[in-house]
Amino acid sequence: MPELIGLAVVAIVLFMLLSASIKIVQEYERGVIFRLGRLMGARGPGLFFIIPGAEAMRKVDLRIVTLEVPAQEAITRDNVTVKVNAVVYFRVVNPEDAVVKALDFIRATSLIAQTTLRSILGQSDLDHLLSERDKINAELQQVIDQQTDAWGVKVTSVEVRDVELPQSMQRAMARQAEAEREKRAKIIHAEGEFSASQQLAAAAQVIGSQPATLQLRYLQPLTVVAAEKNHSVIFALPLQLLEGLLKQAASGRDDGRQPNQAPPQRAPGRTE
């Protein structure tokens, strides 16, 4: 009976040692091995064995980590207070450095992203921040990646997500946008007036060179009046008739009498 108990204890110990020595690492992971405190390197993926009690393993995930940077309040170069939050995408490219050189590389990357975001915002104008966000994202990615490279962390992308402005600045920007729209509307209206005046001047030259076209232009409203159901009748007088009446009136004024006044009659039998 004691022999059976001893065999059972030995079997349990062997099973525990065997289970402790067998390690399985997934495709997206790497196992960093330490032997008696000394770094032995990274293994995986797959199944491998370690020496229980002498070796230890720490798994590192190689997939892309999405890190949300809390909203940071900063003052831009043109003295505007803004709140900006961002998203950082990074992954571990060197699991050995990520384990040995950083106690918590995720938290370290988050703090670096926060300080870098405030620094970049302080060097940018508000217009630059709103209109050229791609350049700011690229600059953030480059600066953060340079600092995390020593930890075996590669920052693949940084995206500035929301930019919160003070209420006074939002009202000022709304007034500016409205003024810009009014400016464009006035410019377009002025350009239309200028183009219309040019067309009218060209039309006047054509009509002046051909008197018959002016008479046809006077007759054109008749087609519009005839299309409507009304009782109005319009007679268009020829321009030549009007010109004759005007010439007759002008000659009468030159003779010192009214246009319709008859010439004075002489008395019969009397000579001057």
Residue 30 lies in a domain: yes
Residues 6+ apart with CB under 8 A from 81: 73, 74, 75, 166
70 and 158 belong to one structural domain: yes
Residue 232 lies in a domain: no
Residue 259 lies in a domain: no
158 and 213 belong to one structural domain: no
What CATH number has the domain bearing residue 118?
3.30.479.30
Q: In total, how many domains does the chain have?
A: 3
In this prediction the pTM is 0.61
Q: Can you give the residue range of the structural domain that contains 22?
A: 2-61
Place of tokens 């797959």: 46
Residues 6+ apart with CB under 8 A from 62: 28, 29, 30, 91, 92, 93, 95
183 and 209 belong to one structural domain: yes
Residue 229 lies in a domain: no
38 and 103 belong to one structural domain: no
Structural contact between residues 67 and 121, judged by C-beta atoms closer than 8 angstroms: no
Distance, in Å, from the CA atom of 219 to the CA atom of 237, rounded to the nearest integer, reads 9
Residue 12 lies in a domain: yes
99 and 145 belong to one structural domain: yes
Structure tokens at 70: 């809390």
Mark which of 23, 46, 61 sits at the end of a domain.
Answer: 61
79 and 159 belong to one structural domain: yes
Residue 157 lies in a domain: yes
Residue 265 lies in a domain: no
Mark which of 61, 84, 110 sits at the end of a domain.
Answer: 61
Quickly count: other Cβ atoms within 10 Å of residue 129's Cβ. Answer: 23
Distance, in Å, from the CA atom of 118 to the CA atom of 34, rounded to the nearest integer, reads 38
Mark which of 219, 241, 258 sits at the end of a domain.
Answer: 219
Residue 136 lies in a domain: yes
105 and 155 belong to one structural domain: yes
81 and 102 belong to one structural domain: yes
Place of tokens 């006047």: 204
pLDDT by position in tens, the chain (length 272): 677 777 777 778 777 777 778 888 899 999 999 998 899 988 888 888 888 888 888 999 999 999 999 888 888 888 888 888 899 999 999 999 999 998 999 999 999 999 999 888 888 888 888 888 889 999 999 999 999 999 999 999 999 988 888 776 667 666 777 777 788 888 988 888 888 888 878 877 776 676 666 666 666 666 666 666 666 665 555 555 566 666 777 776 665 555 455 555 554 444 44
97 and 37 belong to one structural domain: no
